Amino acid sequence: MTETNATAARSSARPDVQADFQPLGISHRPSPTETLLRDLKAKDSPAFIGYLPYGFPDARGSLEALRCIVENGVDIVEIGLPYSDPVMDGPVIQSASQLAIAHGGRLEGVFDAVRTVAQAGAVPLIMSYWNLIFHYGVERFATKFEAAGGAGLITPDLIPDEAGEWIEASQRHGLDRIFLVSPDSSDARLAAVAKHARGFVYAASRMGVTGERTTLSASPQELVRRTRRAGARNVCVGIGVSTPEQGAQVGAYADGVIVGSALVHTLLDDTGVNVRDLRDGLDALAATTAALAKGIHGARR
């Protein structure tokens, strides 16, 4: 059955859902992520991309935290969808995700976070394991995400070879597709990711899970070079960037610098598993974000 006939059949069987389906097509909406990265390149500045999980420390607090990092220098925000069985998240983000889930954080509420980031003046991305999007409904997610002002989706466990449904939906709604590469990625894999990515390619600085590090190796710089050679227009580096000095180091060669655990950590107490007082946590988050922004934005000066 063709897509048109299948849609007609569903609509005929359930007239009330006819508006939920739309014909195939391609949106001509420019990529907000690529537009921002192009503008920053004109200023010879890398982007500061900050990650925080939605629902952490709770739904209201997470919206305040998202506004806080935008006000203190983050250009692009990765809004994490808490997941009970994360693949690449280290202990800090795992703790935050567990707290978010315990406080009722669910996918449906993340669209409020997207609107919050967009209204604050940054580019909103969602970072999610594919299972959550698949079970929510790809078309349903894409429709609501676009309506909320979302720019794109980072999918750490989805490769282009298996992303047909998402590629189709993202083309219809003008959403970015951000896939990951690692130092172990073959040239063929880099080329496949570069071909299908929109927005930027996420270069994982090393194999393993997220987390703060005292030093960074030279491998991400070589990975950025290889990924650009494979055809990627924008390559941003994440995993392990924790300090302004490291941000400046990576920002000297990458189009964007991604920081997650170092931001999340400011909202946890010394145990690393409990939430700090929100006011104290937001003060610490503001100071950490501002310092990182200074290092990253000044990386090439």
CA atoms within 13 A on the CB side of 204: 20
CB proximity list for 277: less than 8 A, separation 6 or greater = none
Sheet (strand 47-53) strand order:
176-178, 152-154, 123-127, 76-80, 47-53, 256-259, 235-238, 201-204, 180-181
Catalytic residues: 78, 89
Cα separation values, 25 from 6, 94, 174, 196, Å: 16, 38, 10, 17
